[in-house]
Amino acid sequence: MTEAASPQDSPARGFLTPEPGRGGLASWIFSTDHKRIGLLYLTCIMTLFAVGVCLGLLMRLKLMTPGNTIIAPQTYNAAFTLHGVIMIFLVVIPSIPASFGNILLPLQLGASDVSFPRLNLFSWWLYVTGALVALVSIFTGSGAPDTGWTFYVPFSERTTTNVSVAVLAVLILGFSSILTGLNFITTIHQQRAPGMSWRRLPLLVWSLYATAWIQVLATPILGITTLLIFSERVLHLGLFDPSRGGDPLLYQHLFWIYSHPAVYIMILPAMGVISEIIPVFAHKKIFGYKMIAFSSLAIAFFGSLVWAHHMFTSGMSDVAVLVFSFLTFIVAVPSAIKVFNWLSTLYKGSISLEPPLLYSLGFILMFSIGGLSGLVQGAAGADIHVHDTYFVVAHFHYVIFGGTGLGMFAAMHFWFPKIFGRMYHRGRAAWAFGIIMVGMNTLYFPMFVMGLEGMPRRYYDYLPQFAHAQFISTVGSWVLALGLLLMFHNLYAGLRRGAPAGPNPWGAATLEWSVASPPPKENFPEPPVVSKGPYDFAPREHHV
Amino acid sequence: MSEKAKDYAGAKLGMWLFLFTEIVLFGGLFLLYAGYLHRYRADFHQAARDLNTLLGGLNTVILLTSSLCVALAVTALERGRQGQCLLSLALTVALGLGFLVNKFFEWSAKFSHGLYPGSAHLHQLPPGQEVFFGLYFAMTGLHGVHVLVGAGLLSTVTLMVRRGRVRQEDFVILENAGLYWHVVDLIWIFLFPLFYLIT
């Protein structure tokens, strides 16, 4: 992706210009330029996304008909484990912060780079190392991990598959995530341009700020949890082993203390992206700036206190269940604040229905469905019924794929002309969006129904009563894949042959649009002085 | 890699954030400790008697002294006394290594009594005692790794001070390494009573 931009009819290529005296690949993988690092991340994340999608398609293909079809049960177990590990730790967690966050954060702050550029490059190297170790865990030892991405004990302690290596990969990836978060917090505190007060921060920056705090404060718990699984397996510490006095429930607590806040690491940056896009295409100042910024922090805070809602059926006290259920409902409030503010921004706006806005609207729809279905599981009583069923799978994919995924695609369509200086085919982008939406809903909505009817997640086989819904769901996976192919093809074509886009094709007001596209290597030829807010748009001229 | 004006406050902020993550990393283990102490109070008291309070106490003194040394090293460089700074740093590293030597003897004694993770002897003890020793090895082990890393870090900084790369006008690296050492010390201050003094 990154190497492909051809120089022909683009006037200046900014930071994409090959560096004299440094070889092609080396000028990227050893670059401390935040924009190049962001693109490195984007390339890796999208590659691994493709791998994750293929594993998903494989699972759906297996589930199309009941019985022992194309893959064996053990392969199926490995497939859903790898799908989870890859999608969670290698794709969704780094998705927007590591790629677009890296590219945009300094630009939006009016800075020349992040606070620690070399640490930033080191994070990327850790990410790549983690990805390679994950790869090693698949192909070495006695089989790919089969525990599911949650690595629940006691099974993860006893399975003979290559869990030890896989958890090391997760540990390394966690470290990478921590360093990115640390870098972003410091950058936001220290690198703001003169005049860039906290109240003038673009909302993407606010959401990255909230995300970074979760990354810094929650991820170490993942670190210790994976370290403990590793030591349990290798040293037989026995801390989670009931036969040695340990308690598996404490593993679940530790795991979710990280892994629940982690879903806010996944969704908050996407919310930031949507908050950037909507005012631009409504051509109207964002409604409720302060509340959107505040709700990001509120989500980060309350989201850290709800982890045990994953454990309602695990055997906690009733008091704990009620407290965590209540706190879970509280998180819905700041999330709803955001949705209402986006809709209010659109209300009476001068709306241009460009691809980035389409994907953002898709986000709002899918996130609302996913978010509300989350409350069904947050309610302690209802959760007993839907726990560990397809309902959870549907909920999670609506929120994370329909939310973060579409948010990521929205970001790709919104900042594409900024990063590459070219424009993709907008009609095709809209078509791809439509197909993706149809595919996604056909794929995941039947899972809500199946879940309510009692279809357990992660099962290799199912009762005949689920055959229809399973079949529809598999067809949906093909439609979705088709839409994704069209979208990526369209972006790739835009990268190669798109028309020059100019510095500000959408008429946006944040700082990154004030420099050339692609941005010059040093970001701002003159250090900027900020004198207006991020959504104070110029009077409307007609944008093509 | 264009050289920018050095951002001291930024470098310190980044270090403090990193130290938070270290505390949270150990926090997971402290959480387990709290949960199991609550469940196996009597077993924990019994098992703690097997630990050598004298060696543990000695190690506490060693680490506290080393923390003092590193603080002296920072102050010395701040005042431009490079030689004094180097001496203090060397002393810090030596004390850190002394701590590890102590730890080595302590662990060896445990091992020779059949007390090591996954041992048959441990498995015959009541479950609470087995968990106690599981936590003991996990937490002091992870802490030992941190001492090792800290000693390595301080040795590197010592070299940098000698070569003048860290000096009176630019000593944030020394300060940050010192902060790291203090956190390693701080964690031990909590580990010591939790394992040695709860008999």
What is the structure's pLDDT at A401?
A: 96
Residue A498 has pLDDT above 90, yes or no: yes
What is the structure's pLDDT at A6?
A: 45
Q: pLDDT per residue over A79-91, tens digit each?
A: 999 999 999 999 9
Q: Average pLDDT, whole number, for chain B?
A: 93
Picking from A377, A194, A203, A162, the residue whose alpha carbon sits closest to that of residue A292 is: A203
Residue A10 has pLDDT above 60, yes or no: no
Contacts of B25 in chain A (CB under 8 A): 220-221, 223-224
Q: pLDDT per residue over A315-349, tens digit each?
A: 899 999 999 999 999 999 999 999 999 999 999 99
Strands (E), A15-55: none
Cβ atoms of B82 and B170 within 8 Å: the answer is: no
Cβ atoms of A253 and B58 within 8 Å: the answer is: no
Tell me the C-alpha distance between A294 and A465, whole Å. Answer: 47
What is the structure's pLDDT at A292?
A: 95
**A377-A381-A386-A391 Cα dihedral, nearest 10 degrees:** -30
Q: Which residue of B has its CA nearest to A117?
A: B1
What is the structure's pLDDT at B95?
A: 97
Picking from A159, A224, A98, the residue whose alpha carbon sits closest to that of residue B29 is: A224
Averaged pLDDT, A19-43: 88
Give, for A378, the enclosing helix (H) or strand (E).
helix A355-378
Tell me the C-alpha distance between A216 and A188, whole Å. Answer: 14
Q: How many CA atoms lie within 13 A of A234 on its CB side?
A: 13
Tell me the C-alpha distance between A180 and A286, whole Å. Answer: 28
Domain boundaries, chain A: 14-514
Averaged pLDDT, A441-447: 97
Averaged pLDDT, A525-536: 91
Q: pLDDT per residue over B135-153, tens digit each?
A: 999 999 999 999 999 999 9
What is the structure's pLDDT at A13?
A: 85
Q: Average pLDDT, whole number, for chain A?
A: 93
On whether any CB of chain A is under 8 Å from the CB of B42, the answer is: no
Which residues have a Cβ under 8 Å from the Cβ of A69 and sit 6 or more positions away?
Answer: A62
Residue A516 has pLDDT above 70, yes or no: yes
Residue contact A239–B17, C-beta within 8 A: no
Tell me the C-alpha distance between B166 and B157, whole Å. Answer: 8
Residue type, A237: L
Averaged pLDDT, A433-457: 97
Domains of chain B are: 18-196 (1.20.120.80)
User: Which one of B10, B131, B134 has the shortest CB-CB distance to A115?
Assistant: B10
The number of beta carbons lying within 10 Å of the beta carbon of residue B172 is 16
What is the structure's pLDDT at A25?
A: 85
Q: pLDDT per residue over A257-282, tens digit each?
A: 999 999 999 999 999 999 999 999 99
Tell me the C-alpha distance between B130 and A246, whole Å. Answer: 9
Q: Which residue has the higher pLDDT, B142 or B169?
A: B142
Which of A15, A115, A233, A259 would best serve as a mutation to test chain B binding (most B beta carbons within 10 A)?
Answer: A115
Q: pLDDT per residue over A449-482, tens digit each?
A: 999 999 999 999 999 999 999 999 999 999 999 9
Q: Could you write out the three-class secondary structure of A231-276?
A: HHHHHCCCCCCHHHCCCHHHHHHHHHHHHHHHHHHHHHHHHHHHHH
Which residues have a Cβ under 8 Å from the Cβ of A342 and sit 6 or more positions away?
Answer: A274, A275, A278, A287, A360, A364
Tell me the C-alpha distance between B79 and A174, whole Å. Answer: 39
Q: Which CATH superfamily is domain A14-514 in?
A: Cytochrome c oxidase-like, subunit I domain (1.20.210.10)
